[in-house]
Chains A and B, each alone.
Chain A
Amino acid sequence: MTVTRRLAVVSGGLSQPSSTRMLADRLAKTTVAELSRRGVEVDLTVVELRDHARDLTSMMLTGFASPALEAVIESVTGADGVIAVTPVFSASYSGLFKSFFDVIDPAALEGMPVLAAVTAGTPRHSLVIDHALRPLFAYLRAEVVPTGVFAATDDWGSDAGDELAVRIERAARQLADRVEATERSGLNGDPWGFGSVASGFEGFSPG
């Protein structure tokens, strides 16, 4: 029997085409290749947050997701692993990227294997993964793989690019280890978090 795992890519770039999406695609491709080498089939979903910018704002205001955004949230929270990539804006993740993680249920990514990656114009932002993304995913109790991937503009057109390829390989391997081992997507629950609470009732007694 073939094993199938669900992998979700969340890309927070704004321009089109964006280097954030380029990095996201490379990470996804390498991870999928690593998993298929191990005989694991991958059901891949790529989420371009830009396409849901309006719905994200609406959800922040109304508290509920549009049907399109709800499907996106389910594809991410119900995955076996997430590749999360954001550009650096004002020394941190982009507001759009943060908005997505603000509207999902805080418990929905518990134990989720996450590969955190960042793009920036200059290498001086390289600590953003460690001072912004890791704390965010620590709060969400996700499991971030040890290798974070940072790509500055230079990495796309110099000898440094070889090092980027090495980092991508290593990070993808670390994510693949965890995605292969988890059975998260088989346990996916109600997006409202309702079923789990409701089914927990053994009865009720006041006081």
Chain B
Amino acid sequence: MSGMQFGIFSVGDITTDPTTGRTPTDASRLQDILTIARHAEEVGLDVFAMGEHHNPPFFPSSPVAINSWVAAKTERLILSTATTLITTNDPVRLAEDYATLQHLSGGRMDLTLGRGNTGPVYPWFGEDIRQGIPLALEKYALLRRLWREDYVDWSGKFRTPLQGFQSTPRPLDGVQPFVWHGSIRSPEIAEQAAYYGDGFFANHIFWPASHTQKMVQFYRQRFEHHGHGTAEQAIVGLGGQVFMRKNSQDAVREFRPYFDNAPVYGHGPSLEDFTEQTPLTVGSPQEVIDRTLGFRDYVGDYQRQLWLMDHAGLPLKTVLEQLDILGGEVVPVLREEFAKNRPTTVPDAPTHDARLAAAAVAEAEERAEVAS
């Protein structure tokens, strides 16, 4: 797998199917997501990313546990998150849990850090949402050190100091898991991603494309400023939201009740307005291909495209059909088209093997420099 990665992400909402009135249980949704994740690999997708929530109507409080299970049942799929809460989790636990997943999956994992926007979740974990940005900055700074340094002495504002602490297991092959920083509207988070040379994942679902464009442009400029390469070498991921049927009208007819009652935007804008104003695409596979290829026009050549597929009460059968269309008709064309005119200087999407190879090269160069 080179160039771009394509996949799906799930926020793990438990929503009544508006067409049947049936509400899934935690148990059924959890089983469904395992089926969906495995099917993502079966249809040839590259990435599955699981959300993290600690309040109903969401079920996935432990994406690392879900991803570990999926890792054991798959062979190629990269397991990521959407997002791992950097604000309310202890960075020590995150370092340990995700390093463990890195070993279990043979390096087929990365993670996307996010702050979480549900006020009460913060105090449940002893934190304060008003400190969201400082929490994200301090906790990630520690998380990164725990993976990169064998013994860490640390003190900060938001957790007990550490003296001579070693988090175990050490990262696979000495390469820390790749990190994306996700944000809808905080430039501080884009700056954080740029500072470390990490990836930036733009949600790209709820807001107009012009907004995503600004965030990504800012991240790219700052990536270059911090000396990680040129702006076009920054690592960008995008969300997206689609619903497809062979005929466009059928897609609209079938998806409309789910859209109209969806937890986030339901009962608000019309499906037509929302598709016009945001990247949501409801139509034929060709329409999805055309729209997705257009993303490159405003964010540049990028590395990862994930779609939200299981949400708003869509039944499992429908979600699996959507994956069939995505993997069968859409992604193969996108791989081919996105590869065209892609400058060779634009990095491929991050994988453990590529990062291991890059680390070996960097080490050899360093040794050569010391010797000379």
| Chain A residues packing against B (C-beta within 8 Å) | 57-58, 60-64, 66-67, 192, 194, 197-198, 201, 204, 206-207
Contacts and interface: CB of A to CB of B under 8 A. Distances in A.
Interface residues of B, number: 31
B187 A64 contact: no
Given A60-B268, A63-B206, A204-B192, 7 more contacts: A66-B273, A192-B185, A194-B187, A198-B187, A206-B140, A206-B141, A207-B137
A63 to B, nearest CB: 6
Interface in B126-167: 137-138, 140-141, 156
A192 B214 contact: yes
24 contacts: A57-B268, A58-B273, A60-B268, A61-B264, A61-B266, A62-B264, A62-B268, A62-B269, A64-B207, A64-B208, A66-B269, A66-B273, A67-B277, A192-B185, A194-B185, A194-B211, A194-B214, A198-B187, A198-B218, A201-B191, A201-B222, A204-B195, A206-B195, A207-B138
A143 to B, nearest CB: 27
A63 B207 contact: yes
Interface string B78-93: 0000000000000000
B265 A61 contact: yes
B267 interface: yes
Interface string B222-241: 10001000000000000000
Nearest to A60: B268
B145 to A, nearest CB: 10
B153 to A, nearest CB: 13
Interface of B: 137-138, 140-141, 156, 185, 187-188, 191-192, 194-195, 206-208, 211, 214-215, 218, 222, 226, 264-269, 273-274, 277-278
B138 A201 contact: no
Contacts of B140: 206
Given A197-B187, A198-B218, A204-B191, A64 B267 contact: no
Contacts of A197: 187-188
- Which of B206, B267, B277 gathers the greatest number of chain A CB atoms within 10 Å? B277
Contacts of A66: 269, 273, 277
Contacts of B185: 192, 194
B206 A192 contact: no
A183 B354 CA distance: 55
B267 A61 contact: yes
Contacts of A194: 185, 187, 211, 214-215
